[in-house]
Amino acid sequence: MKLLGIDYGVRRLGIAVSDPLGMLATPFRTVDTFSDEQSVEEVCSLIEETNAEKIIIGLPLNMDNTEGPMVKKVRDFIDKLKLKTDLPIEFSDERLSSSLVEKILIEADMSRSKRKGVRDKLAAQVILQGYIDTHENDIF
């Protein structure tokens, strides 16, 4: 099953896709957005472009497992997306995904400006691969 992974942000979406078997996540692109409506349209376009069969979106829970203000924004975005697509949508815990990616990029001595261009799609890859790894028995 081909999966589309999303790292939701107010200004950018990080996008990752899986291989057709749903076993390996790959960073796909970063999409600059200005509104949830634009983000929804972008995701619908990406669904067609990638032939995705399921959407996995990162849920930014707090370290104590509580939901902060960003979780509400993600849930609001998903509500808008559900009005435009019938694909199944699942959440995946994204705690520490962005900080892990940032640490790796800093260790790779990548400049701040270059990190900005890849951080979100790599975070989406981490989110999607985490989902794949924890659900591998469900997929096959």
**DSSP strand E in the chain: where?**
3-8, 12-18, 25-32, 54-59, 89-93
**Whole-number Å distance between alpha carbons of 110 and 80:** 36
Which residues are CB-contacts of 120 (< 8 A; sequence separation ≥ 6)? 7, 9, 12, 13, 14, 30
Choose between 126 and 94: higher pLDDT: 126
Q: Could you read off the pLDDT of 49-65 as tens digits, one per residue?
A: 999 999 999 998 877 88
pLDDT digits (tens, 9 = 90+) for 6-43: 999 888 999 999 999 889 999 999 999 899 999 999 99
Please check the confidence at residue 114 and state whether its pLDDT lies above 70: no
Q: Which residues pair with 27 in a beta bridge?
A: 16
Residue numbers of the domain that contains 51: 3-139
Q: What is the pTM of this model?
A: 0.86
Output the pLDDT for position 122.
86
Q: Which residues pair with 5 in a beta bridge?
A: 16, 56
Amino acid at 132: I
* Sequence-distant (≥ 6) Cβ neighbours of residue 20 within 8 angstroms: 2
Total number of domains constituting the chain: 1
High-pLDDT (> 70) share of the chain, %:
82
Query: What CATH code is carried by the domain that includes residue 41?
Result: 3.30.420.140
The Cα–Cα gap between 23 and 78 comes to 24
- Give every CB contact of residue 78 below 8 A, 6+ residues apart in sequence: 57, 89
